Structure 1
Amino acid sequence: METFLFFIILVFLIAARMIHIRYVKSDNGSASGRSFAGTLMDKGTSGEFMIYSHLEKLGEPNRLLPHLHLPKSDGTMIEIDLVMIARTGIYVFESKNFSGCIFGDEDSRYWTQTMKRGPKHQFYNPIWQNESRISTLKRQLALEADAFKSYVVFSDRCTLKKMYVQSGPVKVMNLHLIVREIIKDMAELPDIFTPLEINQIYSELVPYTHTAAAIGQARIETVRLE
């Protein structure tokens, strides 16, 4: 028993060390304002960091913005996991750091997560969730809808089952596919922003990346199962 426990602790420490090395090499910490410990211990934040670290490989002129908190028209705030501004558009990422099997489609209000052992769990359609965020971004930047691409990214610990998504600007995938899919998109889509415009959009959004400064006393929108 002690040997098994030691092995589990050792595996955890090695994994944490590997993530720390990636974190140190990444700009995510300074961009998001979150510490390594905070990133590691928070399931949602660690999933967002993994997406960020993959997207960094794409290099310039792409610009990344994690943890955006934008004001909605009703006075509340909406949180966006990650945005990438590229020549071919603005990519908006919804991170789902889940395990198990995922069932869903773009028209269902709720998707389902199942585990080998344990009850099923329903969660709000992440495509719809990202649509709401893109709508807020569109209003903030005064851009047309075709400038935005929606990416829902699940961890590599889960399997996507019976996933029906047909909308062109919407993609649902596991983390390991993200760079390949974006490179494919960039090769097929026309450029709509110059490097100067990319930097201008980045400058407009960057004040909304740090939670404390962006939120103030406003309430962040949360999606609840109803």
Structure 2
Amino acid sequence: MVGFMVMLLIIYGMVFGMVILKNYIDFNNSNYQRASNHTFWETFFNKGNMGEYNIYRKLEKIKGTKLLLTNLYIPKEDGSTTEIDLLMITKLGFFVIESKNYSGWIFGNEKNRNWTQTFSNKKKFKFFNPIWQNKGHIKALQEILGIADDLLIHSLIVFSNNCELKKITVTSSNVHVIKQNQIKRTLRRELTNVMPKLTSEDIKIYFQVLKPFMHADEKIKQLHIKTIQEKLSQSNN
């Protein structure tokens, strides 16, 4: 019996090692580490980073001219910052992506302040409308780039494949609420048979303007977290 258990542990260890090796090779074939400054271990053992990485890998595989940025801390008029999880610049414009690594059933309406996450044990949790959240990111992005044309902006709210988008109501044509496994299909539909709005040179210029807002230092990150906590505290009072 002991020998059988040891053999099982060895097999499980080998399978786990093979999975880690495969993921490590895939990670090294991606530009995610250079874009995010997150190492392999920081990515695979952090739920939020892993969600962003999965989205980034899917975006990398989208055909066409594009440049990707992650974790942009964009300054706002009030002196605070807003964080864009992922940004893809294409000839069609800017795809501003908010990553939500949630499980359970998700209910939400674009017009409501809060959405609901529900589990099979009937526990429910409220969270801030991610479309509204991304609107704040988009506003800061437009201000920093001097962009007034809303047709250049596309808002993507991307949830984990571990959740079920039970009832989501969206009315804006430039807003999409999807799961990770729907990214390729959604973007292919958006990018196909549409007249380009940006040139390859435009894309490079915007990328260079935004690049300095990546890799924020710890001081900026802590100030950003503090600002969010203060806003949450005020909204709960």
| TM-score, length-scaled by structure 1 | 0.90
Q: Which residue of 1 aligns with 2:99?
A: 95
What amino acid maps onto 1:89 in structure 2? G
1:159 aligns with 2:164: yes
1:107 aligns with 2:101: no
> Using a 3 Å threshold, how does the CA distance of structure 1 residues 10 and 133 change in structure 2: closer, same or farther?
farther
1:191 aligns with 2:199: no
How far apart in 2 are the matches of 1:122 and 1:139? 30
Q: Which residue of 2 aligns with 1:170?
A: 175
Larger mean CA deviation between 123-132 and 113-122 belongs to 113-122
How far apart in 2 are the matches of 1:31 and 1:214? 19
Q: Which residue of 2 aligns with 1:202?
A: 207
Q: Deviations over 1:9-50 (max 9, x none)?
A: 777655544432321111010011111111112211111111
- The structure whose Rg is larger is 2
Q: Which residue of 1 aligns with 2:224?
A: 219
Larger mean CA deviation between 115-124 and 20-29 belongs to 115-124
- In structure 1, list runs of 5 or more residues that go unmatched: none
How far apart in 2 are the matches of 1:17 and 1:139? 43
What amino acid maps onto 1:203 in structure 2? Q
Larger mean CA deviation between 106-115 and 117-126 belongs to 117-126
> Using a 3 Å threshold, how does the CA distance of structure 1 residues 187 and 29 change in structure 2: closer, same or farther?
same
- In structure 2, list runs of 5 or more residues that go unmatched: none
How far apart in 2 are the matches of 1:82 and 1:140? 16
Match of 1:137 among 134, 141, 150: 141
Which of structure 1's runs of 4+ aligned residues deviate more than 2 A? Answer: 5-22, 213-226
How far apart in 2 are the matches of 1:49 and 1:64? 12
Q: Deviations over 1:111-166 (max 9, x none)?
A: 11112236211110000000000000000000122211000001111110111112
What amino acid maps onto 2:134 in structure 1? N
> Using a 3 Å threshold, how does the CA distance of structure 1 residues 75 and 181 change in structure 2: closer, same or farther?
same
What amino acid maps onto 2:189 in structure 1? K
What amino acid maps onto 2:37 in structure 1? G
- Say how many residue pairs are matched: 224
Query: RMSD in angstroms over aligned alpha carbons?
Result: 2.4
Contact 1:67 1:209 in 2 (8 A): yes
What amino acid maps onto 2:208 in structure 1? S
| DSSP 3-state at the match of 2:224 | coil
Written as runs of structure 1 = structure 2, the 5 A alignment for 1:28-67 is 28-67=32-71
What amino acid maps onto 1:175 in structure 2? Q
| TM-score, length-scaled by structure 2 | 0.86
What amino acid maps onto 1:190 in structure 2? M
Higher relative contact order (CA 8 A, sep 6+): 1
How far apart in 2 are the matches of 1:132 and 1:10? 46
> Using a 3 Å threshold, how does the CA distance of structure 1 residues 115 and 20 change in structure 2: closer, same or farther?
farther
> Using a 3 Å threshold, how does the CA distance of structure 1 residues 213 and 165 change in structure 2: closer, same or farther?
same
How far apart in 2 are the matches of 1:208 and 1:87? 21
